[in-house]
A and B are shown apart, each in its own frame.
Chain A
Amino acid sequence: MRRIKKFRHGGLYQRGQAFVGGQSIENAYLPNHALLIFREHEAAGEPDLAVNEGQLVNEGQLLAKATRNNALNVHASIPGIVRKIMTIPSPEGFNTRALVLSLQGHFKLNGAISGKRPWQSLNRHELSFVLQEKGVACTATGLGLHQILGNAHGVDTLIINAIDSTNYPAHEIVILEEYLNEVMEGCAIIKKASTVQSVLVALSGSRNQKLEVNIAKAAESFDLQYRIEYFSDKYPQAFPHQIISALGVNKNKNPCLFLVPGTLYAVYNAVSLNRPHIDQFVTFGGDVLKHHQLLKVRIGTPVGRLIEECGGFIHAPEIIALNNPMVNGCISNLDTPVSKTTRSVWALSKSATRLGVPDNCIRCGACIQVCPERLDPYLMYKLLGSGSIEKIRGQLDACTSCGACSYVCRSRIPLSVHFKNKKKEKLKDEQ
C-alpha cells in the first residue's frame, strides 16, 4: 500500500456535502450567442481587436490579438456575426472588454479533424509560439501557457494536478480518465516545449488500479517518464504550495510545473489538432441543481443556458459560485459566459453555504489551527484593523489566500479576502 501524502500543518476536511461524480463528459449544445471576454485575470493585458462589428467570422478565427504582456489571443468559439463589443464585469470583480458573437454560418472545425500536426519535429520555441497563437491559457490561473513555459526556467517535473480536496471537486480526475491519451500527449508536448524531464501524476482518494494501468500504457506510447502519487483530500491539498510541502521536496532545488488535465487537453488540441482554446470542461453541481453534469462547453456560452441543460434549479439558489467556492467569485447574472478559467459552477442553497453576517472576533483560535501556512490569521486581522501592518508583512506575503481561515471563522469574518486585498494594495503601492 502506497503512503497517502499530505501537507503537515492545518487544513480541513469538507466531507459530507458530496457531489455526485464519476459520470461521463457530454458535449453541451452550441449557444446562439457567445460572449467572449478579453481578460482572464486582473493583471492580464487587453488584446487588440482584430475584427469589426458586423463582420462575419469563422469558427476558430482570431478575434483579438495579444500584443501586450500577459494578454491572450481570443478566438471565435462559434461561427457567426460580431454583434457588439462592450465592457462587462467579470465574476472576480474586475472589468473587461467582451465581444458578442451570434451563431451563423458553417462549422469548419467541428468533428472534421484535418489530420494531426507532426509536432514532434517542432522545437521549443515553435511549440511555444503555437500555444501563444492558439490562445491556450492555464485553466487554473488564466495565465497564458506560453508565458508559464517562458518563466519555467530549469523545471524538471511536470505535476499533473488531479487532486480533489474540496467537496466541490475540481473534476480534473474525470477529464484525466476520459481523455487520458490526449492529456498524456499534452504532457509530451509540454516536455518538448520545456526542460521538463518527468511527469508526476497527483491523484487523490483511494488507489485507482485501472487508471494506473492506462497511464502506464499511455506514458509508454509517448515515451514519458512518470510516477503516480496519491494525496489526501484535506483542503487545500490541491494548491501547488501544499503539493510541494506534501512531497517534501525543496522547491528551490527542484522547481515544478503544475498543470491540470483540462489545460493539457487544450495543449493537445492546439498543437496536435491545430484547434484554438475554444472548448472548456465545466462541472455543474451544487445542491439546488437538478442534474449534476460535466459538460464540454464552447467558451462564451452563457452559464444560464448550460444550467437549463442540467435541468435547471430545484429551487432558487442562494449563490452561484464559480470554481473553488473557498476562493473564487460568484455570478449574479446568468448571462455570465464560460471563460478559459471557468471550471465549475455551483448552485448552492443557504444550507450549503451557511453564510452569515460578520461579527466581532470571539478569539476562538480556529483560524490559527486551520491555517496550512502556520500563520496567525487572528493576529493579522487584528493588526490590519488597527493599521499596523509592519509586524505582519511576512505573514501577509506567506498567505496563499486559500480561505481555510474564513471557512472556519466562528464569526464569519472573511479573513482571507482582507488579506488578499491588502496584498493587492501593497503590490500597487510598490509599483
Chain B
Amino acid sequence: MNNDRISKSIPPHVHTWQTGRKSIWIAVLTLIPVIAWSIVLFGLPAIYIWGSTIFTALITDGISSLVMHKKFYVSDASVLTGILIAAAMPATVPLYIPILASIFAILVVRQFFGGVGSNWMNPAMAGIAFAYVNWPQSMLPQLNPLNWQLDTLTGASPMAAIQEGFNAYYNTSPSIMSGLISGADQAVTSFLNIWIFNPLHAKLPEGYVNFLLGLNANTLGEAGLLFIILGSIVLISLNLVKIEIPAALFIMYLVLVKIFGLGISDLPTVDTNILTSLTMGGFLLCTFYYATDPVSSPVTRAGMIFYGILVAFLFYIFSRHRAFIEGGAFAVIIANIFVSSIDKLVIRIKILLRSKSA
C-alpha cells in the first residue's frame, strides 16, 4: 500500500497542518535553545557531541538505506534521534561513545526493523541504553563539571540535603558539590522571593534556579531544563505530542514520589518534594521528548495512558535505585516491549464493547 496513487484527485482535499515531518522539525526547533545553552555552559565538547551524533545519524541513515533499499534517503527523524542521543550524554564523554550509540540506534534499531514507522523500539532510547550498558564508567555524570564554586553550602536549604544525598551516592567529594548553589541562584531566588513569592506568603527555596539553568547538570540535555519546559509547552499547544502519555506519566510519577519518596535523602520534606523530583534525572526530557515518540508508543488513547503509567513506574524504580542516571531511556525501551500488546488489548476491548452496544 505504500505505492499509493499519488494523485491530487483523492479526497479529502483539505488537511490539518500537522504532518509527521513538521512534528519532527518543530521538536528539533524546540531543542535548539537546549543545544545552544549547553554550548554556552560546556563549550567546545558540547559542540562536538551534538555535531557527532547528528552527523553520524544522518550518514548512517543515508548509507544504510542506500545499501538496503538501493535508494539514498535520509529521514528527518534521524536528526531528532541524533539530538536526543546527544542530550543524554555527559559533557565529558569520549566522542566515540555518542558516535557508536547513533550508529546502533539508526542501523540496528531503526533500519533492521524496517525503517521509520516500523521500529517497535525507540531508536534514540536504544542508543542511549547501548551507551550506558557498554561504557558505564564514561557515562557517569560529572556533577558540576563547571565547578562554578561561587558559594559555600548553605545547610538550611533543601537542595543542600539533596546534594548530601548525591554525595553519599556517588561518593564524590563535598568540595565539588559545594558549588551547586551558586551566587546566580541565590540572587535570582531572593529576587523572586521578594517580588513574587513573599507577597503570596510563599518562599522559593534556593537551588531550583540552578537546576533550571543547568548549572549542575549531569548531561547536555539536562543543562537546558528551562528550555525543555518551554519546548514542551510549545509542543503541547501545537498538539504535536500524544498528550495522554506525558499527562499520565507526570501524574503517576508525582503520586509515586509523594507516597514513597525519592530515596535520596533522609529528610522527608525533601524526599517527597515535587519540584525536586521534577527537576532531576532528565525527568522532563523523558516525559515530553522520549516517551512521546509516536512510532514506538501506543496508538489508542487508553493504551497511551497505560503506557505513561508504565513508564512512570519504571522511571521511578530506576531513579530511586539510582541504577542509571538516565533511567528514562531504560524505562522507555522496557515499556516499548509492551506497546504492541497494550494496543492489541485495547483494540480488542473496544471491538468487544462496540459489538455489545450495537
Given contacts A363-B296, A410-B19, 19 further A-B contacts (CB under 8 A): A325-B12, A325-B13, A328-B11, A330-B8, A330-B11, A330-B13, A352-B14, A354-B14, A356-B19, A359-B20, A359-B117, A360-B117, A363-B295, A364-B20, A374-B354, A379-B347, A384-B1, A409-B15, A411-B20
Q: How far is the CB of A249 from chain B (nearest CB, A)?
A: 16
- Kindly list the 8 A-B residue pairs having the minimum CB-CB distance in the complex, ordered from nearest: A360-B117, A365-B299, A385-B1, A325-B13, A321-B13, A354-B15, A326-B12, A410-B20
B187 contacts A by Cβ under 8 Å: no
Interface residues of A in 370-413 (CB under 8 A from B): 374, 376, 378-379, 381, 384-385, 394-395, 398, 403, 406-413
Q: Is A314 an interface residue (CB 8 A)?
A: no
In the complex, what distance in Å separates the CA atom of A429 from the CA atom of B257? 59
User: With A and B bound together, what is the CA distance between A395 and B353 in angstroms?
Assistant: 13
Knowing A364-B294, A394-B355, the reply to whether A378 touches B13 (Cβ < 8 A) is: no
Interface stretch (choices A114-122, A126-134, A152-160, A414-422) = A414-422
Interface residues on B, range: 35 or more
Q: Are B242 and A365 in contact (CB under 8 A)?
A: yes
Contact with A361, one of B17, B117, B304 (Cβ below 8 angstroms): B117
B116 contacts which chain A residues (CB < 8 A)? 360, 362
Q: Which of B11, B23, B301 contacts A326 (CB 8 A)?
A: B11
User: Which residues of B approach A to under 8 Å, CB–CB?
Assistant: 1-2, 4, 6, 8-21, 23, 115-118, 242, 294-301, 304, 347, 350-351, 354-355
Within A335-377, the residues touching B (CB, 8 Å) are: 346, 348, 352-366, 368-369, 374, 376
Interface assignment of A319: CB less than 8 Å from any CB of chain B:
yes
Task: Report which of B8, B242, B298 forms a contact with A355, defined as CB distance below 8 A.
Answer: B8
B12→A416 contact, CB < 8 A: yes
Query: B10, A414: Cβ atoms under 8 Å?
Result: yes
A327 within 8 A of B: yes
A431 touches B (CB below 8 Å): no
A318 within 8 A of partner (CB): yes
**A332 lies within 8 A of chain B by Cβ:** yes
Interface size class of A (residues with CB under 8 A): 35 or more
B13 interface neighbour in A353, A359, A362, Cβ under 8 Å: A353
A329 at interface by CB-CB < 8 Å: yes
Residues of chain B within 8 A (CB-CB) of A412 are: 15, 19
Q: List the B side residues contacting A330 at CB < 8 Å.
A: 8-9, 11, 13
State in angstroms the CA–CA spacing of A357 and B3 once bound together.
10
Binding site for B on A (CB under 8 A): 12, 14, 17, 93, 168, 318-319, 321, 325-330, 332, 346, 348, 352-366, 368-369, 374, 376, 378-379, 381, 384-385, 394-395, 398, 403, 406-414, 416-418
Q: How far is the CA of A379 from the CA of B18 in the complex (A)?
A: 21
* Across-interface contacts of A14 in B (CB, < 8 A): 14
Smallest CB-CB separation from A326: which chain B residue?
A: B12
Least CB distance from A399 to B in Å reads 12
Contact of A410 with B300 in the complex, beta carbons under 8 Å:
no
| Docked-complex contact A348 and B14, CB < 8 angstroms | yes
A355 and B299 form a contact (CB under 8 A): no
Contact B355 A365 (CB under 8 A): no
CB of A325 within 8 A of CB of B14, answer yes
Give the chain B neighbours of A414 by CB distance below 8 A: 4, 10-12
Q: Is the CB of B354 within 8 A of A413?
A: no
Contacts of A355 in B (CB 8 A): 8, 13, 15
Contact of B8 among A12, A319, A325, A364 (CB under 8 A): A319
Instruction: Report the minimum CB–CB distance from B104 to chain A (whole Å).
Output: 22
Kindly state the separation between the CA atoms of A381 and B221 in the bound complex, as whole angstroms: 37
Q: Are A360 and B354 in contact (CB under 8 A)?
A: no
- Tell me the nearest residue of chain A to B344, going by C-beta: A379
